[in-house]
Structures are given as structure tokens and as C-alpha cells.
Chain A
Amino acid sequence: MSAVKYTNDHEWIKVEGDTAWIGITTYARHALGDLVYLELPETGRQVKKGDNFAVVESVKAASEIYTPVSGEIVSVNDNLQDNLDDLKEDIDKGWIVKVKMNNPAEAEGLMDQASYAKFTDSLS
């Protein structure tokens, strides 16, 4: 099991073997404000690194969520639609999809927790 990594677009990713769990960070959650809807993908969809795979709607606006790794969406967390508060950096409840990766090396260049903390500090 590897540590959680982060993207510039405020997704978190946790890799277990060849499977990546992907969610959005608590920082993103606060920036989005009041969430009202989460649009989820279908299981089985093939995604490429950088693809938009889900959309989170706040009262204000729609925000796209991107995958940092390529592969097949093997699991979707449907529970989130009724529990939008769980959409944050919570490995057990807050993951949006699990992706079976084609190229696990894609996950290696992402930020670790310390780098991401520095990155978000630079934004405020």
C-alpha cells in the first residue's frame, strides 16, 4: 500500500497494487462551497490521464474532476450522491472511483502530502 498523492487540480489518489482510488481533497471541498450534486461515471469506462470523469455541482458552479492515471473505472462510489459531505480526503468514504491502471508509473510523479500542503499554501 502506498501513500496518498495529490494533483494540481486537487484530486487525491491512493494506489493499491494496480488499482488507484481517486477523490478530491478537503481543500477542494472547502473551495467549492455548498455541494448539491455529483455526476458519476459508469463502471467499465476507459479513461486517459487528464480525462474529466465526474462533475461536482455547487450552488454556484459546476467543477470537473480529472483522473491523474489512465485505465478502466472498475468501481464507482454511488453512496456519495446521497452523502456529499463525505466528498473529501477520506479514503474509506470519500473515494469517487477506483481505476485499474494501465500505466502505474503515471502516479509516481504526483505530489506527496508535504508538497501538496506547500502548493495549497501558495494559493491562499
Chain B
Amino acid sequence: MKITPLHDSHIALKAKMAEFAGYDMPIQYENGVMAEHNWTREKCGIFDVSHMGQITVQGADAAALWEKLTPSAISKLGSGVAKYTVLTNAEGGMVDDLIITRLSDDKFFAVINAGCKDKDIGWIQQNLPDGVKFDHLDDRSLLAIQGPLAEQVLRDVLKIDATNLGYMRYMESGEFFISRLGYTGEDGFEISVPNKNAAVVWAQFLAHPDVRPIGLAARDSLRLEMGYPLYGHDINADTSPVEADLVWIMGKDKHRSGYIGEKTVKKHLEDGAPRMRVGVKLTNRGVAREGAEIFLQNGQKIGDLTSGGFSPTLNASIGQGYIDPKLGKVGDEVLVRVRGRDIAAVIASLPFVPPKTKRSSK
């Protein structure tokens, strides 16, 4: 199993470790998932996300590469701006979801999912135009600090003032690549740091009284409250961005041509998608997880949950899944079947909890 440069630090913190995407990762630390979740919502959590892939592409046709691989108009992205988007496959499904940051006119930084790294790198290299250079920054680790105190923590620990850095904005400071974004819905930063310094920086953050380590279990409950999809569960090679309710990543350019898989995406845009990703909130007791079936009151099945769990913030079970949009819509009362029992639920819009990310600077 692979490990991150912070593996020894997790063991020293007595984390419960388990395999995730081929890596031995901390699932939770000593305080438990609920406490970690709430700490991130109230203070500042630090996450080791070094298993994720960091890449750059550079060259005159770098923007054109992204405009072929994603449905987003990446050429319009300003320097220092990050954008969430997806890599589409020939059938209009998704190879991965990722965040692409424009560093300069001809250079882009991107963060890709750990479990998709090899696949993505092959896909990008296969489509790489002449004169564009691809780099996998496997000499760098990635830490996320997330929570309402993250800006102050960054100032206290690394002496970096991000007051004027907007949401989805990027800056460099010495050896650090700092992006104001995350996977929790809180204000916060992802900090790329050279592997050789990762453990020292991690320890410096943990020495701050408002910072605690957060494992992957709380990372999952935090992102579920935000309705963020998890690749391999809520989105995959067979779901189009339209079905996944990700049309917003295309912005004003949703009818743009020239990207892989556009035929299916445009068909779904024009005719409507055969299924749609929605939120599902249980209104009765129980917990529904991935694979639970969704039924109408009359017993007709309308879809399945692709992820689900308990929301500490709402004190209720929440999830997301796909339903046939002809049979159900937001607000409808449905039943979710868990081990043969039907639990009352409602189709909900996402996010479940309003995000507290910093407003984008103008």
C-alpha cells in the first residue's frame, strides 16, 4: 500500500488507518468523527490530502488542451483563478472531477483524485498537444486547512496574509502554493508543500491551539452536507455532467463545442437527462448509505443512493443519489429502503448546509 509523507505523523497521532485509493490513510483520530466534523465547522481542521495528484501543464496550447478535455471554457479563466470542472470521456461520462488553476497565460496547475491519478495522467498525455509539457508534481504534498479560523491560522502559523485572496483564488508564497478552496464548505486553503517539508509544516499547524487533525471519515460527512459529489460513487464514467447536476461548471458557455463527449452532454442539455443527481434527507430515524433504493409512496422505484451518511450539523441522515426526473422532484416525499425497511425521506436540493466559503473577490 502507498503512503503519504505524513504517514508517520498519523501513526504518532494514533489515527485509525485504512486503505483509501491505494493509500494507507487516517480515517479518524482520537477524538472521533463527530468531534472532528464539528471542530472543522467551528474552528480549523487540518487534513492530509497528499494522496491526491498535483499536476501542471505548460505550453502555448495548454488552455486548448483543457478546452478539449473539459466542458468548461478554461481559456477564459484569469491568471490566479481556480475552477472546479470535470474531464469528460467520449461517451459524455466523467473520467474524473478536478480543480484547474491558471498560473499564467500558458501554465496551469490541477489537483486530481488519488484513485484516478494513473487514469487521468494517461488520458491527459494521450491528448497532449505538441509543445505542451506535462508534469506530475509527485515531489509535493497537499495539506488542507478548513474552518472559520483558517485565515487567522494561516497568518499565525506560516505568516501568510490571505486577507485579500478571494474564494477560488491562488497565490504563491515561498515554497507554498496556496488555493482558497476545499471540500468542506468552510473557508479554508489547500496548501501544496514540498514533500521534504510536509511533516514539519503539518506539525507547525498542529501546534496552533485552534487546529486539530481531521480524518477521511469527517471529510466525507463534511462534503456530504455540502452536496459535493465523490468520484467513483456519485459521479463516474457513466454519468454525464448534466445528470450530475454540474451544468454550472460550464457557465455561460454551456453550448460550447470542441470538447470530448459533447454529443451526449448536449443531448442531455437539450432533451433533459434520463436521471438527475439530487439530495435525499431522511425525515424519520435511520441512516441510509450508498446503494439504498429510493421509492415513491406507491412502491415504484425511482432511483438509488450513491452516497449517504449521518449529518452531525443537521442531526439527520442525508445522502445523494440519482432519480428519474419524470418521477420525482425536489420536495417530494419518498421512501428509502435500508435492509428491507422503508424510511420516510424527502428529495432535497443541494447543499444541505449553506456553505461559508469566502466570497469571490471582484
Binding site for B on A (CB under 8 A): 33-34, 36-37, 39, 55, 57-60, 62, 81
Contacts and interface: CB of A to CB of B under 8 A. Distances in A.
Interface residues of B, number: 21
B312 A59 contact: yes
B27 interface: yes
Contact of A33 (B28, B287, B309): B28
Nearest to A81: B285
Interface of B: 27-28, 32-35, 37, 217-218, 221, 285-287, 289, 309-310, 312, 317, 338-339, 341
Contacts of A81: 285
A59 B34 contact: yes
Contact of A59 (B37, B286, B338): B37
Contacts of A34: 32-35
Contact of A60 (B33, B338, B339): B33
A59 B310 contact: yes
B32 A33 contact: yes
B285 A59 contact: no
B260 to A, nearest CB: 37
A57 B338 CA distance: 12
A37 B286 contact: yes
Contacts of B35: 34
Given A36-B310, A55-B339, A62 B33 contact: no
Nearest to B309: A59
B360 to A, nearest CB: 32
A57 B34 CA distance: 13
A98 to B, nearest CB: 22
A60 B287 CA distance: 10
Nearest to B341: A39
B219 to A, nearest CB: 12
Contact of B217 (A39, A57, A60, A62): A60
Contacts of A36: 287, 310, 317
A57 B310 CA distance: 9
Contact of B33 (A33, A37, A39, A57): A33
Contacts of B218: 59
